[in-house]
Amino acid sequence: MTAATHSTLFPQVPDSADAVLEGLDPEQREVATALHGPVCVLAGAGTGKTRAITHRIAYGVRAGILQPSSVLAVTFTNRAAGEMRGRLRQLGAAGVQARTFHSAALRQLQYFWPKAIGGSLPRLVDRKIQLVADAAAACRIRLDRGELRDVTAEIEWSKVTQTVPADYAPAAAKAGREAPRDPAEIAQLYAAYEDLKRARSVIDFEDVLLLTVAVLQDRHDVAEQVRAQYQHFVVDEYQDVSPLQQRLLELWLGDRDDLCVVGDASQTIYSFTGATPDHLLDFRVRHPGATVVKLVRDYRSTPQVVHLANGLLAQARGRAADHRLELVSQRPAGPEPVYTEYADEPAEAEGAARRIRELIDSGVPAAEIAVLFRTNSQSETYEQALADAGVPYQLRGAERFFDRPEVRKAGSALRAAARFGGNDSLLDDVVDLPSQVRAVLSGEGWTTEPPAGSGAVRERWESLAALVNLAHDFAAARAGATLSDLVVELDERAGAQHAPTVQGVTLASLHSAKGLEWDVVFLVGVAEGMMPITYAKTDEQIEEERRLLYVGVTRARERLHLSWALARSPGGRPSRRPSRFLKGLRPGSGAAGGRAAAAAGGTGGVERGFGGGGGRAGAAAPRRTQRTPARCRVCGRTLTDAGEMKLMRCEGCPSDMDEGVYERLREWRALQAGRSGQPAFCVFTDKTLMAIAESVPEDERELVRIPGVGARKLNRYGSDVLAICAGQEGVGLDEDD
């Protein structure tokens, strides 16, 4: 890692208040020096808003204007709060509280509950979905898994908008919400859920805010004690504040106005949870004398990415659109966004995986690539495609880094080594911190070279490698840092869920990608029905979908790929069309949204990918091949399931599989997987092995026709598979075996 990267991750502490301001642009400096009265920062994507507000707090602390313990900085995720605390510490402003709304409220509630209510605070439940299921059972209402999730979301929305069960139906109708069940049933379930919580003496996350608000409203002595503690407030992502959070903020403030809010109405994408940009947009109405600063210099993305982002918002409508910020890229020019049309979703996933493999082979780190989709249900197709391409990936929203077994075990090993110090023979001849960490983690499975392939073995190695890299960065930033110092840093990061970078392509929904960025972003499924999503009906809902795509576009630093599929499955009717949001922006779409491919010109490249790659923009578009629906070769039924289409027959239809070939293929696959340290399905899935054993191909031409056997796998495994099909013995065994 370069010295520049080290200084970015762990910069040296400035030696004075004025030094804190060095390196800020004029608008960021204006934010940093506006320390009195209400301040509203309108910050576009990639404009350095976190940098501006952390330098503002640090400048105030270092200049003696703000007391660290009197500042409360509030944001929306543990990761963002952890990052903010880390930056403040490096700027010499340790002691400032940076928390989420829930974390700050829970801390106050735990402290004041015995005094205000008496007894101990009820237990907090992490997941309310089981309670909702129990409430449904009590009401004799059957809910499937999807309905259970949707009803839980409706209860959460009701609570953050301060809607009681009796008022749910009219409130939902007024908000334009499409209830997953009859509104009267949801109100009944909501009431039963609340009764069940009281009976079990538990509270949920929304209760933390509601109860804190109630205590501060009812107990003026408690409210005054909180206000005496915190006198200066900073709220990040203010466009995402719910009515309940806004009420809590008002109670924290009292009659004071020492408040700085930061937000961008064009990034409001959580209205389904009760978030509204109205508090941001009305800030100057509530505070007529507020200082307002706009940050529009985009340091994240190239001019080409910024041009597309601005174009998306230029077509927007509504109140948020009236306050949009026109971004100005500060980076050198980069490649134009690439637009690709595929015949079907599996072809789209395989195409993205193929491009990603090429990028990684050319030197782009896997951790700097992301695949973003509209719904979590799209993830599985891309997980399989990346595994088939031998690309390591991490699924954002899955198990948290510090909760992984290998990370917990590694932390225990580092903690033990720090306790024993010089008495640990493992560290006798090791002096510097990174070498100590490598020595300890080598006993946990870390090696200097990563294991081949992907899967669980590679994921464990990536977790340990992230800790090794963190030790390097930490040691470079803090001369003389010890293993004990690193353990303290890891504990703080674990508490804030501030994970180090794991090497692997990120798979994430657009909602969970908010606040993150990558060098290369693949926006997939950008088609009508998915973007905007089918159930977005009203103008407000459509505009939020547009903002969601805008957030996805602005995650990219350098390269951006947008793609869509004409059909869901191979052989399906090509009835889909690109998202309306791309009309007039992608080449060939025109103002009226024409479909023909056009030359790249100055606005981007269009490709067509029908499973085998497509021609570059500027070349004549290939004639579209009309595919016939995939049908079962036994009964003739049209196939839609991906697994059945691999077999070219229904699951229930009789198989003519050669059992001997299938068993030899499975044995061979286990051998290959063991050698590469990856799961067996990354070599070939069971369905692909069954398809091979049923067709018993005689040459490469027949083998490559089988779904799941692409060109890469043909080159790597083709000779072995054909030899097994031909009945040869000992295939895949080396002499050493």
Task: Write the CB contacts of 174 (distance below 8 Å, at least 6 apart in sequence).
Answer: none
What pLDDT is recorded for position 304? 95
Q: Phi, psi (5° rounding) for residue 9? A: -75, -40
What pLDDT is recorded for position 598? 30
Q: Which residues of 362-382 are buried (b: 16+ CB within 10 A; e: fewer)?
A: eebebbbbbbbbbeeebbebb
Q: What region, left, alpha or beta, does residue 290 occupy, with left being phi > 0 and alpha being psi -120 to 50 degrees? A: beta
pLDDT at position 362 over 50: yes
Task: Write the CB contacts of 429 (distance below 8 Å, at least 6 apart in sequence).
Answer: none
Instruction: Tell me the pLDDT band of 600, cut-offs 50, 70 and 90.
Output: very low
Among 111-115, 409-413, 453-457, 486-490, name the one with the lowest average pLDDT: 453-457
Helices 168-175 and 183-200: angle between axes, nearest 10 degrees: 120
> What mean pLDDT is reported for the chain?
82
pLDDT at position 623 over 60: no
Torsion angle of the four alpha carbons 11, 17, 21, 23, in this order, in degrees rounded to the nearest 10? -40
Helices 129-138 and 183-200: angle between axes, nearest 10 degrees: 110
Sign for the CA dihedral angle at 178, 180, 185, 189 comes to negative
The angle formed by the CA atoms of residues 317, 321 and 323, to the nearest 5 degrees, is 150
What pLDDT is recorded for position 621? 36
Terminal-residue alpha carbon distance, the chain: 40
Share of the chain above pLDDT 90, in %: 36
320-341 average pLDDT score? 91
The angle formed by the CA atoms of residues 74, 80 and 84, to the nearest 5 degrees, is 75
What pLDDT is recorded for position 401? 67
Among 102-111, 420-429, 538-547, 644-653, name the one with the lowest average pLDDT: 420-429
665-690 average pLDDT score? 79
SS3 90: helix
Task: Write the CB contacts of 487 (distance below 8 Å, at least 6 apart in sequence).
Answer: 411, 414, 415, 418
What pLDDT is recorded for position 5? 43
Instruction: Tell me the pLDDT band of 619, cut-offs 50, 70 and 90.
Output: very low
Q: What whole-number distance in Å separates Cα of residue 420 and Cα of residue 382? A: 45
DSSP β-bridge partners for residue 521: 370, 560
> What is the pTM (predicted TM-score) of this model?
0.68
Sign for the CA dihedral angle at 487, 488, 491, 497 comes to negative
Sign for the CA dihedral angle at 263, 269, 274, 276 comes to positive
Question: Which amino acid would we find at residue 202?
Answer: V
Q: What whole-number distance in Å separates Cα of residue 142 and Cα of residue 279? A: 38
Q: What whole-number distance in Å separates Cα of residue 55 and Cα of residue 723? A: 65
SS3 182: coil
Share of the chain above pLDDT 70, in %: 83
Contact 645, 636 (CB under 8 A): no
Instruction: State the chain's maximal CA–CA distance in angstroms.
Output: 85
Q: What whole-number distance in Å separates Cα of residue 472 and Cα of residue 253? A: 42
Q: What whole-number distance in Å separates Cα of residue 586 and Cα of residue 588? A: 6
Q: What whole-number distance in Å separates Cα of residue 72 and Cα of residue 274? A: 23
Q: What whole-number distance in Å separates Cα of residue 38 and Cα of residue 36? A: 7
Helices (H) and strands (E) in the chain, counts: 29, 17
What pLDDT is recorded for position 175? 80
Q: What whole-number distance in Å separates Cα of residue 560 and Cα of residue 593? A: 20
Instruction: Tell me the pLDDT band of 735, cut-offs 50, 70 and 90.
Output: very low
Place of tokens 């997941």: 127
pLDDT tens digits, one per residue of 71-85: 999 998 888 888 888
Contact 367, 502 (CB under 8 A): yes
Contact 39, 261 (CB under 8 A): yes
Question: Which amino acid would we find at residue 296?
Answer: V
Contact 344, 570 (CB under 8 A): yes
Residue 173: count of CB within 10 angstroms of its CB:
11
Among 141-145, 265-269, 733-737, name the one with the lowest average pLDDT: 733-737
Q: Which of 727, 608, 577, 603 is nearest to 663 (CA)?
A: 727
**Side-by-side strand order, sheet with 605-609:** 393-395, 505-509, 369-373, 518-523, 556-567, 338-344, 605-609
Q: Which two tokens stand for residue 335?
A: 């490649």
pLDDT at position 517 over 80: yes
The angle formed by the CA atoms of residues 457, 522 and 545, to the nearest 5 degrees, is 120
Q: Phi, psi (5° rounding) for residue 528? A: -60, 140
SS3 728: coil
Instruction: Tell me the pLDDT band of 212, cut-offs 50, 70 and 90.
Output: very high
Half-sphere exposure of 94 (CA within 13 A, CB side): 6
Instruction: Tell me the pLDDT band of 594, cut-offs 50, 70 and 90.
Output: very low
Q: Which of 238, 242, 322, 317 is nearest to 43 (CA)?
A: 238
SS3 430: coil
Task: Write the CB contacts of 308 (distance below 8 Å, at least 6 apart in sequence).
Answer: 337, 553, 560, 585, 604
Q: What whole-number distance in Å separates Cα of residue 339 and Cα of residue 346? A: 17
Q: Phi, psi (5° rounding) for residue 633? A: -75, -5
Q: What whole-number distance in Å separates Cα of residue 612 and Cα of residue 592? A: 29
Fill in the DSSP letter of residue 593.
Answer: T
Q: What whole-number distance in Å separates Cα of residue 658 and Cα of residue 663? A: 9
Q: Which of 351, 505, 453 is nearest to 682 (CA)?
A: 453
What pLDDT is recorded for position 588? 76
More confident position, 191 or 685:
191
Among 131-140, 162-171, 235-244, 457-466, name the one with the lowest average pLDDT: 457-466
Contact 360, 349 (CB under 8 A): no
What pLDDT is recorded for position 593? 36
Q: What whole-number distance in Å separates Cα of residue 464 and Cα of residue 437? A: 10
More confident position, 406 or 531:
531
Among 160-169, 302-311, 424-433, 561-570, name the one with the lowest average pLDDT: 424-433
What pLDDT is recorded for position 378? 83
Q: Which of 370, 93, 385, 72 is nearest to 231 (CA)?
A: 72
pLDDT at position 595 over 60: no
SS3 534: coil
322-333 average pLDDT score? 91
Distance of CA 462 to the CA centre of its chain: 18
pLDDT at position 443 over 70: yes
DSSP β-bridge partners for residue 298: 329
What pLDDT is recorded for position 637? 63
Question: CA–CA distance from 302 to each of 306, 329, 392, 448, 602 (Å)?
Answer: 6, 6, 27, 35, 14
More confident position, 652 or 35:
35
Most confident of 33-42, 488-497, 569-578, 639-648: 33-42
pLDDT tens digits, one per residue of 96-136: 989 999 999 999 999 999 888 888 889 988 778 889 999 99
User: Cis ω on the peptide bond leading into residue 532 (within 30° of 0)?
Assistant: yes
Contact 471, 434 (CB under 8 A): yes
Name the percent of the chain in helix, strand, coil, to the closest 5: 50, 10, 40
Place of tokens 């979301």: 153
Distance of CA 109 to the CA centre of its chain: 30
DSSP β-bridge partners for residue 522: 371, 561
More confident position, 628 or 234:
234
Task: Please state the length of the chain.
Answer: 737
386-404 average pLDDT score? 74
What pLDDT is recorded for position 250? 94
Q: What whole-number distance in Å separates Cα of residue 28 and Cα of residue 655? A: 68
